[in-house]
Structure 1
Amino acid sequence: MRRHTISVLVNNQPGVLQRVSGLFGRRGFNIESITVGASEEQGLSRMVIVTTGDDRTLEQISKQLYKLVDVIKVVDLSANPMVARELALIKISAVPAQRPEILGIVETFRAAVVDIGPHSLVVQAVGDTDKIDAMAELLKPYGIREFSRTGVTAMTRG
């Protein structure tokens, strides 16, 4: 089982996201992450979907997506060198005495503190999924109160 990152260019119409995600559910394919936003062409949106499966599964997903009327183009980004990023906001319990240790972790991961409260810090981290996971793991002992991440967005390099 490999991890695949798929870019799907679709018409920006109501219900397209529901039809795409429904297709995955009906076929028994899992969506690990999905991001949707405007593309470089007006009237079109780009979905970046991360899923797992073998090459045969990916081929099946691609064929099924092309059967949807609003799907324009499907590209397996993970087949080529790509740039993939994710954004995470992490609220950590942080009494003033612990803050220097937490700030050391934040600096190591080139993240940023975006909010400071009396008993908490909110950290913003941008990077690949492994970087976000590693930083969260190091912050766990301090007490993660809230954790929100965007999901992967990606494009091929060059």
Structure 2
Amino acid sequence: MKRTITVLVQNRSGVLNRITGLFARRQYNIDSITVGVTDNPTVSRMTFVVVADAMENVEQVMKQLHKQVDVLKVKDVTEEATVSRELALIKIAATPEQRAEIGSLAETFRAQMIDVGRDSLTLQVTGHTDKVEAFIELIKSYGIQEIARTGVTAISRSVKTQPDTSRLTLIY
């Protein structure tokens, strides 16, 4: 089962290496990882997608992460309402005659042509991993020359408050 774990860390040299080393020592394969600075330049946010065979193993890794000096906050957001996205840049073989057809496919997935060459073009697609995978599968027939993917990044959704109905009076 895939788990998504977010970690806020001090933005210092070597932190990423220590954190990924912890996953490696526990024999976790990191499916994807994204790292970026937050609104505070001294703090970075890491998003890991890992394959875990049991929830107890995830909890153990999270406890180990909490013990790291540079770790500020650890959260498993797998079961939470989140917004998650991935970015893929895909370079495909394309003749000038195929560009309109490829453009139509790209439009369906809200992908963008970001570079056009004589015999190829580069597309950018963002969205949920399933959407990115479906787009890649669809354009494989044109001949993929190169793919670069970011991995998943995720953030919790805003909490929607429910109105307090305990004091409402029904009038007939």
TM-score tier (shorter): over 0.9
Q: 2:154 is paired with a residue of what secondary structure?
A: strand
Q: 1:25 is paired with a residue of what secondary structure?
A: helix
Equivalent position amino acid for 2:115 in 1: D
Greater helix content: 1
Unaligned runs of 5+ residues in structure 2 are: 159-172
Compute the displacement of 1:93 (Å): 0.1
Deviations 1:92-147 (A, max 9, x none): 10011222221121011011000110001100101011111100001111000010
Q: Is 1:137 the equivalent of 2:137? A: yes
Counterpart of 1:61 in structure 2 is 61
Equivalent position amino acid for 1:146 in 2: E
Matches of 1:156 and 1:112, distance apart in 2: 27
Counterpart of 1:21 in structure 2 is 20
Counterpart of 1:71 in structure 2 is 71
Greater strand content: 1
Deviations 1:29-65 (A, max 9, x none): 1111111111133411110111111311210110111
Q: 1:141 is paired with a residue of what secondary structure?
A: helix
Q: Map 1:76-155 to 2 at 5 A.
A: 76-155=76-155
Q: Name which of structure 1's ranges 48-57 and 113-122 shifts more when overlaid on structure 2.
A: 48-57
Matches of 1:68 and 1:30, distance apart in 2: 20
What TM-score do you get using the length of structure 1 for normalisation? 0.96
Deviations 1:50-82 (A, max 9, x none): 111131121011011112111111011112100
Q: 1:13 is paired with a residue of what secondary structure?
A: coil
RMSD: 1.0
Counterpart of 1:9 in structure 2 is 8
Count residues in correspondence: 157
Unaligned runs of 5+ residues in structure 1 are: none
Matches of 1:78 and 1:15, distance apart in 2: 27
Matches of 1:104 and 1:44, distance apart in 2: 41
Larger Rg, first or second structure (1 or 2): 2
Q: Name which of structure 1's ranges 35-44 and 104-113 shifts more when overlaid on structure 2.
A: 35-44
